[in-house]
A and B are shown apart, each in its own frame.
Chain A
């Protein structure tokens, strides 16, 4: 069974602090990893993709990938109340390029 696991939260972080979101996946051969943000009642919005081990930074967001440990994380620096949302991790685990999704972590940024 191919799985992507995320802590459902909610994760509460003070405004201005760093929010750290984690995701683990079951298939060691996975190649592509994606973080999406979803506001309540809206569709998922792509934040970042990462394909190689290490860190990838885009503005206040940093994705970290460790294939040996089978986890991917998302750091949000200088958290803002507008970052309050559910963050979904998606992993491409097979050659058909179909994404397997975690259930999401609800993030709450407290002013």
Chain B
């Protein structure tokens, strides 16, 4: 059984650029949650997708957007990158909304 995968592993962008991060959920999981984790902090919830619909959003501006595909994989898009967007971006999948969440390895984004 394949776990949660994310791509790319690392990414360096400059301020103002746009970025797309990808996540493949674990087999049998229909829910994907995205988190931003700054150094020394706990994960901050960005948004969650359940069966291709957004199921809630954290305190992030509209330039953070996402979608979920029919195979339940997901993308996180960030427009107009800012220096403070530099962080580890984590994707987690779960078998249902209330299920345990399993994380991918994360994408380390650096904005210069």
Is B48 a contact partner of A96 (Cβ separation < 8 A)? yes
Contact of B98 (CB < 8 Å), options: A88, A92, A100: A92
Residues of chain B at interface, number, CB under 8 A: 24
Contact of A103 (CB < 8 Å), options: B41, B56, B88, B105: B41
Nearest A residue to B57 by beta-carbon distance? A98
Question: CA A34 – CA B33 in complex, angstroms?
Answer: 15
Known: A97-B97, A98-B45. A42 touches B105 (CB 8 A): yes
A74-88 contact mask (Cβ, 8 Å, vs B): 1 or 0: 000000000000001
Residues on A with beta carbons closer than 8 Å to the beta carbon of B100: 34, 46, 49
Is A96 a contact partner of B55 (Cβ separation < 8 A)? yes
Is B42 a contact partner of A102 (Cβ separation < 8 A)? yes
Does residue A22 face the partner (Cβ distance < 8 Å to B)? no
Identify which of residues 41-68 in chain A touch chain B, using a CB-to-CB cut-off of 8 Å.
Answer: 42-46, 49
Is B58 a contact partner of A101 (Cβ separation < 8 A)? no
Contact of A98 (CB < 8 Å), options: B33, B40, B90: B33
Does residue A13 face the partner (Cβ distance < 8 Å to B)? no
Question: CA A36 – CA B41 in complex, angstroms?
Answer: 14
| Chain A interface bracket (under 10, 10 to 19, 20 to 34, 35 or more) | 20 to 34
Contact of B103 (CB < 8 Å), options: A43, A49, A97, A104: A43
Shortest distance from the beta carbon of B33 to any chain A beta carbon, whole Å: 7
Does residue B64 face the partner (Cβ distance < 8 Å to A)? no
Shortest distance from the beta carbon of B87 to any chain A beta carbon, whole Å: 13
B51-82 contact mask (Cβ, 8 Å, vs A): 1 or 0: 00001101000000000000000000000000
Chain B residues in the interface with A (C-beta under 8 A): 31, 33, 35, 40-45, 48, 55-56, 58, 88, 90, 97-98, 100-106
Query: Would you give 7 A-B contacts (Cβ < 8 Å), ordered by A?
Result: A44-B103, A46-B100, A92-B98, A96-B55, A99-B43, A99-B45, A103-B40
